[in-house]
Amino acid sequence: MVKDVKPSSRLALPLLVAVLATSASAQDHDEFEDPPISYSATKPADVITRLNAEFAAQAEEIRGWPARRRMRWVLEKLEVPVESQLLVFSKTSLQRNLIGPENPRALFFSDEAYVGWVPGGGIEITVFDPALGATFYLLDAQESPPKPLFNRSSECLLCHKRHERTPGLRTRSVYPDRNGEPMVGSGGSNIEPSTPYRERWGGWYVTGSPGSLRHRGNVTGQKAEDFDGEQGLSSPLVPDLKGIVETRRYPLGTSDVVALVMHDHQVHVHNVISTANQQARIALHRWPAMRAVLGLPKDAAPAGSCLAQLNSQAERLIDALLCRDEAPFPEGGIKGDGVFQGAYAKTRKADSKGRALRELDLTTRLFKYRCSPLIYSKSFTWLPKELRDLTLMRLSSGLRAAEPPPAFAHLPAEERKAIHEILTETLEGLPAGWPR
């Protein structure tokens, strides 16, 4: 069982839902529900839409499979490695009533999809659409015809509508009580790149090789002070979860620390990409009317507030891709069991010198070459051409600069040079002006 101090009072689910609903209704209308995004009204063109069509005739058969077979089938179809398994025991999911320290929710992820499953419940899926960004689905064994196999979930937006007002992902570190309930009024927060490792993963299980790393995972408490300050709970790594969780229910008996660090990184980058995608599409949608007001020809390049928005989103994309302002690793680095690293390396794209962005460092930072491999993802490829080309050209300029601008200053000259050479050989669809 996880380490515990004492139980705390909990906010009842009905009251929590009522508060969320009241708060949501009081806010302004969401911009992403209007053209050109029209998020809820638009049928997605994502991989789940394709799978629903492909397996419509088998939907009832698949629902009737044993839970683990059904879950593994989803991972296979979405090409999500089972080795990415993470276990979270805090009640921070749509299926919160099923989740707790003895029955954690399993999370799996790839560059293109995120899958959640809790024993006794349904399968939650997040994938990405070319125009809509993050889209959310649930495969529930209890559903019956004529429902599709995967049902698009609007309930997910209660928690997955981010502060930029764009549907996205969340990775939270909370202060869980002995039941996994986040303590009311505690200082739990979303994990950002700059979040110190000592403050991460409250409500998560964390496994790996012992070292100097301390975090908030694997433990529960009674009050915020149990987690805060020098006297707060600060857990080391454990090699596995035997004796803590009934591991036979899950594909793996671990929640590997390297996979956790990668998950934190990818959630942030995917959110930045999703926001940039939608904001650029909105700005470009408004550009023709602005162009007419300015008396510019129809072939005029974006200017004014449209160009300012594209420049702003390009800056945020570059900061995220280049791992800027990431929290320092603990002394001695971070060590997992190696299973996730092996799976992650299988899709590496190497240049002629054998270098790849998917090479991990894990001693002082996550990547050897600090440019996120999500630059190869479909989400990045689907950015409006105006924004994608602008981002890549500014990326090239900064990587090649003798005196790099601030967004590139954390990268030594040799690392910048290597990143540019790797991208030149391995990234498809480079802009026409990309130096070679």
pLDDT at 358 over 80: yes
Domain boundaries, the chain: 13-256, 258-426
Q: 3-class DSSP state for residue 169?
A: coil
pLDDT number for residue 28: 60
Is 404 exposed, middle or buried, given 0-12, 13-18 or 19+ CB atoms closer than 10 A?
middle
Place of tokens 């689907």: 382
If you ran DSSP here, which 8-state letter would residue 105 be given? E
pLDDT number for residue 419: 98
Task: Report d(CA 403, CA 142) in Å as an integer.
Answer: 60
Task: Report d(CA 208, CA 190) in Å as an integer.
Answer: 23
147-197 pLDDT tens trace: 899 999 876 666 656 555 788 898 999 999 999 999 876 667 889 999 999
202-249 pLDDT tens trace: 999 999 988 888 899 999 988 877 887 666 777 778 999 999 999 999
pLDDT number for residue 13: 45
Q: What's the token pair of residue 386? A: 């105006």
pTM for this predicted structure? 0.90
pLDDT number for residue 357: 98
CA atoms within 13 A on the CB side of 125: 29
What value does the mean pLDDT take over residues 122-131? 96
pLDDT at 412 over 90: yes
pLDDT number for residue 231: 65
Q: How far is CA 232 from the centre of its chain?
A: 28
Q: How would residue 129 be classed by pLDDT, with cut points 50, 70 and 90?
A: very high
Position with higher pLDDT, 1 vs 306: 306
Edge-to-edge strand order for the sheet containing 86-88? 86-88, 105-109, 114-117, 123-129, 133-139, 151-152
Residue 161 to residues 104, 172, 284, Cα–Cα distance (Å): 24, 14, 22
Residue 298 to residues 35, 60, 291, 294, 388, Cα–Cα distance (Å): 21, 52, 8, 11, 21
246-261 pLDDT tens trace: 999 999 999 999 999 9
pLDDT number for residue 22: 45
Q: What is the dihedral of CA 129, 106, 97, 48, to 10 degrees?
A: 20
Share of the chain above pLDDT 90, in %: 77
pLDDT number for residue 18: 43
- Is the Cβ–Cβ distance between 98 and 118 less than 8 Å? yes
pLDDT number for residue 93: 86
pLDDT number for residue 30: 84
Residue 33 to residues 124, 126, 237, Cα–Cα distance (Å): 22, 19, 43
Among 169, 153, 150, 145, residue whose Cα is nearest residue 60:
145
pLDDT at 145 over 90: no
User: Rounded mean pLDDT of the chain?
Assistant: 90
CA atoms within 13 A on the CB side of 321: 30
Place of tokens 């899926």: 125
pLDDT at 418 over 90: yes
pLDDT at 27 over 70: no
